[in-house]
Each structure stands twice: as C-alpha cells, then as structure tokens.
Amino acid sequence: MNLILFLLPASILRFWNEENRYPLATTNTPQSDMAGIRGEEDDVNEGLPKLETTPESTTTSTTFVMRNEDHTLGNALRIVISRNPNVTFCGYSVPHPLESKMHLHIQTKGEEEDETLLPGLKEIMSMCDHLGDVFDEAESEYYISSGR
Amino acid sequence: MASTRTPLIEVNFLDDYNINFVLSNTDVSIANALRKAIISEVPTIAIDLVEIEENSSVLADEFIAHRLGLIPLVSTRAMHADGPVPFRDVEGNITSFLWHHEASDDKDCEIKFELEVRNTEDNPMEVRLILIRLLEVLRHGGGVKPVEYDPEYPVVIAKLKRNQAIKLTAIAKKGVGKMHSKWSPASGVYFTYEPVVTINYERMEGLSAQQRKTWVEACPPGILRFNEMTGQVEVEDEINNGIAFSGECEKVAKELFGYDFYDLIVIKPKSGSDGYPDRFNFFVETNGALDPVTLVRAAIWELVRKVQNIEESLRTGEM
C-alpha cells in the first residue's frame, strides 16, 4: 500500500496518509486573519486549515504548515523551540514569498512532537503577556519620573 | 525547557508621536516580531474607495484617490474589542469596528467622507485636509478624522486654479499594514543593540598624542573623546547608539594610519549570558493614527492573538 502511495502526487497523499497526526483541523483560518496581499474576499487561504502537518511527518520528525503566517512568528518560534533540550533540530522557512505559508520543522530525540510545539507557543504567549504588563508599568514609571 | 526569561522595559522618552524604550532580557527574534507587528499587523482605518463625481483639477482621478488613501486617519476606533485598548462609545459600551468582509451592515465597517471644493477666485487655491467633511457618522461614533498636525503647515491634497473643482465621496475601511502601507500606523520603527566599545591600547601606543586627537576628531561624535590631560582616547559615557555600529571609527583608523590599525577599536553588541544580544533600544514614531503607547500595546496583543490562533488549531486538530 505504501509503495502505491509513493507514486501518487503529494496533493492526494495529504488526504490518504493515515500517518498524519494532524488531519485537516476543524478550525479554519480565522476570517480576521487578514494576511495576504489583499485580504478580504480574495484571501486564498480562507477555508483551509490554519495548521497542518506534511504527509512525510513522523512522531519524531514533523513539519508543520501554518497558513497566513510569516517570519514574524516563525523566527520567534524557532528560537524558543530550539531551547527545548528534547529538540535536536528546529528550523522554519517561507517556501515562496508570494504564498502566505510557513513551514516549521522540528526533530526530537524521541518525545512526541506536540510536546515541543505547544510549550513553545505557550512560552511566547507568556512572554508577550508579561511584555504587556511590563510596558504598562514602564509607562506609568515614565510619567511619574517626568513629573506629569 | 531552558529558563524562561521575563522581558523588561524601561521607557526613556514619550510624547504624542514618539516613544523610545529599552527592551531587555529577551531574544532578538521577539524584538523583531514586535517591530514587524507594529509596522504591519496593527489595524487602522484609511480611505479605501473613492467615488469621484467631478474632477477638473490637473491631477488624475486615481492620483487624487491614491493621495486620499495615504492620509492618516485617527484610528482608535479600529481597536479590537478584546484587545488592550477597546473603543468605548459615548455610553461607555465597547463596540468593534468590523472588517469590511465580515460586516453585514455598512455602518459597522465603513466611514464616509465627502470633499467638495470649487475655486471661484482668481488665485490658485490649495485643497487642504480640513476641507474633508465627515459625511456619515458611524452608528457608534468614533472620532475618525484626518490627523491634525501643525495648523501652520496644513497638508495639501491638490491645488486648484480658477474654476477648477473637485467633488468626491470617500469610504474608509479597516486594514493592516500588510495589505497596503497606507494602513501602517508607524512612520519609523527601529531598534538598535547596545554597543560595547573596546579600545586596543597596545595598538594605541603606536600613535602619538596628535595622531590620537586627529582620529577622535575624524570619528563620528558620540563614541570617543580625547583627554588632553592624559593624552589618551576614552570612550564616552553616553554612547550614541545610532552611529556606533556604522563601522566609521574602524574605517577612519584604517584610512589615517594604515591597515595594521584595523583593530584599534572594536565595537560589538553587548551580549547576555548566552552570547546573544539581549538589550534593544526601540524607537517608535507614529503618523498620528494611533498614539505610541496604544500602538505598542496593540502590537503586543496582535502577537498574542497570532499565537492563540495556532494554539487553537493545535488543540482542535488533536480531537
């Protein structure tokens, strides 16, 4: 069966691959996710899943495909996930500048890959939340010290 | 997971259009993500559709429409209802300004402006921003209007000669910098590293006091000073971040004294304990659509929202 699968084009493989741990997620790219050259009605990624894995992914070597994402999140995720001791490799790429997609590839020593992406996301989230609080404090500090 | 570093911020300067703060104890990728979010992910309101009824000016219709689109409009109305600075109408209720494609009613997502100017005098006339009239007030108001800069130097859209006229209706919508730069609320955002200046005093021995003085004078100001008393070159206490990494000091040393003196001075970014820079001096200037504090808060929130979207997909995908 696997041999036959190899001969099929990748687009069909995506649907047929039973190994795919993240089949078409039920949340599609949110409507307010306005990236793309010209958001609104002609957002090409509308209706497609926000997060997917490629058919070649295994439990220890996964490539996540994120739609409507770019270097903003990609680089930050890459750095944060690389700090995880269980991660042997982490890299991201934007396959084509005209296509709003980002690939994030993670290889682990043996732990499940969703143990690496989720903590990475949570860390960025907590960093940003903290950033918001610290910024508010710094702003009041400035007003106090400048005598307003 | 390695120890999570908690970022720190100190605000150095703040006024109506500018903010200068130092972001520290975090990675350069986060600083860059913040910079990109400020430029291209914070929603604003700008004119997006122009219906021209009459145009006898020397400028083409699309020329004028393009200029109208670039006018910054006060956009606190576009702040997200769940975000850090939600918009409250006169009754204090939080309302959102919707994206054009997700609103069912025009009043929730469009703001109409009207411009009608006719030059009846002999002198050439300037069509200024003040002449744009807010035609239809949104259901919940919003104070959306062109940003008022210095009244002595008004912004000019076009100039009309005698008997020339412009009559048009413009519709403003919500958008982000990624879609078109007219929606970008930032006019200049950048961050610099903090420099560490090391002078090679051994190499300095090969220069006379006069040569050292010549070098310090040839270097851009704000990095070095020449001490007349000791005849030595010293590093300034307050280093000018903007010019420090330009490589000018090293270049001038090579030009004046020869290639051997390339290591007379070494300027590197200050690194944290892991060997990577962790202090970033941010300069954010807005065009008036949002005030700098709201802009930075909204940018941080947009980053959080991006991460939340992916987290949600990750969770539902596992079902």
Calpha distance B46→B68 (Å, rounded): 8
Of A32-36, A138-142, B102-106, B197-201, which has the strongest mean pLDDT? A138-142
Alpha-helix residue ranges (DSSP H) falling in chain B: 28-40, 61-69, 201-204, 209-218, 241-244, 248-257, 292-317
- Interface TM-score (ipTM) > 0.90: no
- Say which CATH class B195-269 falls into: alpha beta
Measured between CA atoms, the residue of chain A closest to residue B31 is: A76
A-B contacts at Cβ under 8 angstroms: 162
Calpha distance B36→B25 (Å, rounded): 19
A77 CB neighbour count, 10 Å cutoff: 27
Calpha distance B67→B55 (Å, rounded): 14
Point out the residue among A25, A127, A132 whose CB comes nearest to the CB of B84: A132
Domain residue limits, chain B? 1-39+185-194+286-313, 43-184, 195-269
| Residue A5 pLDDT greater than 60, yes or no | no
Measured between CA atoms, the residue of chain B closest to residue A129 is: B304
Instruction: Please check whether the two domains, B1-39+185-194+286-313 and B43-184, share a CATH topology.
Output: no
What number is the average pLDDT over the span A115-140?
92
Q: Are B85 and B78 spatial neighbours (Cβ–Cβ below 8 Å)?
A: no
More confident residue, A57 or B107: A57
Q: Report, as ranges of residue numbers, the positions in chain B whose pLDDT lies below 70.
A: 1-4, 129-142, 317-319
A95 CB neighbour count, 10 Å cutoff: 10
Q: Are B260 and B204 spatial neighbours (Cβ–Cβ below 8 Å)?
A: no
- A140 CA: distance to closest CA in chain B (Å): 9
* Three-state DSSP state, A43: coil
More confident residue, A146 or A87: A87
Collect all residues of chain A within an 8 Å Cβ-Cβ radius of residue B41: 72
Supply A58's token pair: 């295994």
Intra-chain end-to-end CA distance of chain A, in Å: 74
The predicted pLDDT at position A92 comes to 97
Q: Is A141 on the interface with B (CB under 8 A)?
A: yes
Q: State which CATH number among 1.10.3720.10, 3.20.20.70, 3.30.420.40, 3.30.1360.10 fits the domain covering B1-39+185-194+286-313.
A: 3.30.1360.10
B186-193 and B279-286 strand pairing:
antiparallel
The pTM of the full predicted model, rounded to 2 decimals, is: 0.84
User: What is the dotted CATH code of the domain comprising B43-184?
Assistant: 2.170.120.12
B97: buried, middle or exposed (CB in 10 Å: 19+, 13-18, 0-12)? buried
Q: Do A125 and B308 touch (CB under 8 A)?
A: yes
Q: What domains sit in chain A, N to C, each tagged with a CATH number?
A: 2-146 (3.30.1360.10)
Collect all residues of chain B within an 8 Å Cβ-Cβ radius of residue A111: none
Calpha distance A12→A18 (Å, rounded): 12
Tell me how far CA of residue B204 lies from CA of B2, B228, B232, B237, B254, in angstroms. 42, 15, 9, 20, 13
Collect all residues of chain A within an 8 Å Cβ-Cβ radius of residue B319: 26
What number is the average pLDDT over the span A41-46?
69
Q: Do B178 and A35 touch (CB under 8 A)?
A: yes
Point out the residue among B27, B313, B319 whose CB comes nearest to the CB of A79: B27
The predicted pLDDT at position A17 comes to 39
